[in-house]
Amino acid sequence: MRAALGLQKCMLFVDKFCVDQADSKRKEAGILGLAGFLECSEKLVVCWSPKYFTRLWCAYEIASWFFLQKPASVIIFRPLAQEVMTLLILLSVSLFCMSLDILRIGFPHLHTLSIRSCFGIAVVILFQRGVTQAIRSLVLLEEQLANFSIKQTKCYCCTHDHKNPDNGEVIPCDRKLVYATLREWQEPMCQSQDEALSFFDNYVQTSFATSVLDRASALRYPYTQLLFVTQPMSWRAADLLAAYGSMPLGDLAWWVASYLGLGFLILPGFYKLLFHVVAHADRLSGIPSNVFKDWLVSIGHMICGIVLLILMTSAPDVLAQKCATSTPVIAYYIGIAILDLSLFDGWRAVGCLYRKR
């Protein structure tokens, strides 16, 4: 397809499949050549799972990138948990929107605030557990980076006591090879192997961690990504606009504004608040290892999510019904915008814009 479109060939080096895992000689050659492949690479894509920083080979890849003096900012760091969370939120918002359409068209007499809240609650219950697990995984990433030590990583040879479990043959130690390479790379700066390893650990814990966590962390989950997943609400606004002329203009304007408010302000704020609740509740209780306690904490998260969702999404409707003027509703949206700015570190961006002027 790329050739047909006249685009450059896209070459990929996938470590797991491109380094021979069976033949020890070819494996060693592949490992020694890893830095060479990385030198020719424009980008390094890391698909992170909690096992990533526990593997010697993954740490060695990062070490090679560091040795080649390539910036950590061009590493595309994709925690799989973040992708799962994005998908779950997108599914939950889409399902909620669909349920609203079914109610509006099929059962207009049921299209009330309380029934809509019930659908919202059902959607939160359905996806809360998955989102909680994903947030926990991202919190673990922060801990792994803060406490990283290459000596703590695992590799196949050391785990199997340097003997092939199938035929008892001796396997050469990968760790010795990696450590010797790290020592060689940092020869002028570090006098001993231990010093070289500590130097690398420090790099991962500080500048590498800062670069990664700026883009991949539950509590720094960017507004743009949440905006992307809450867009089904804006599609509903567009859908309603298409119905122009079929309902009073005032009602139409109210519905369109309320869905845009949900998609752009309320839901991104709601999800970010929920991430904070889950992360802080876990930190306070310690992530429970006991299954029963774990579910109990998850139910606590769920209740918090439901209460937050009802409070945040139904407030504009309640204010519109109870107050004679639209001022309280506008004030509410301004309040949510200020909350979003604080949650997504927006004040820094506003400050930068102000200084540029």
Binding residues (CB under 5 A) for Zn ion: these are 157-158, 173, 175
Q: Minimum distance from CB of 194 to Zn ion (Å)?
A: 17
Q: Is 225 exposed, middle or buried (0-12, 13-18, 19+ CB in 10 A)?
A: middle
Q: Closest CB to Zn ion among 60 and 270?
A: 60
Q: How far apart are CA 176 and CA 357, in angstroms?
A: 56
Q: Which of 216, 275, 219 is nearest to 79 (CA)?
A: 216
Q: Closest CB to Zn ion among 178 and 212?
A: 178
Give the number of C-alpha atoms closer than 13 A to the C-alpha of residue 114, restricted to the C-beta side.
2
Residue whose structure tokens are 């830095």 = 35
Q: Minimum distance from CB of 282 to Zn ion (Å)?
A: 35
Q: Minimum distance from CB of 60 to Zn ion (Å)?
A: 13
Q: Minimum distance from CB of 176 to Zn ion (Å)?
A: 7
Q: Closest CB to Zn ion among 163 and 280?
A: 163
Q: Minimum distance from CB of 287 to Zn ion (Å)?
A: 31
Q: Minimum distance from CB of 67 to Zn ion (Å)?
A: 21
Q: Which of 300, 317, 335, 293 is nearest to 111 (CA)?
A: 317
Q: Closest CB to Zn ion among 179 and 185?
A: 179
DSSP per residue over 172-199, as a string?
Answer: --HHHHHHHHHHHHTTTT-SSHHHHHHH
Q: Closest CB to Zn ion among 175 and 276?
A: 175
Q: Closest CB to Zn ion among 154 and 280?
A: 154
Q: How far apart are CA 28 and CA 241, in angstroms?
A: 63
Q: Which two tokens stand for residue 173?
A: 């130690």
Q: How far apart are CA 81 and CA 210, in angstroms?
A: 19
Q: Closest CB to Zn ion among 161 and 166?
A: 161
Q: Are the C-beta atoms of 55 and 93 separated by less than 8 Å?
A: no
Q: Are the C-beta atoms of 119 and 154 separated by less than 8 Å?
A: no
Q: Closest CB to Zn ion among 173 and 296?
A: 173
Q: Minimum distance from CB of 173 to Zn ion (Å)?
A: 3
Q: Which two tokens stand for residue 163?
A: 């003997």
Helical ranges in 204-248 per DSSP H: 209-213, 223-229, 232-241
Q: Minimum distance from CB of 56 to Zn ion (Å)?
A: 8
DSSP per residue over 57-125, as a string?
Answer: HHHHHHHHHHHTT--GGGEEEEEHHHHHHHHHHHHHHHHHHHHHHHHHHH-GGG-SHHHHHHHHHHHHH
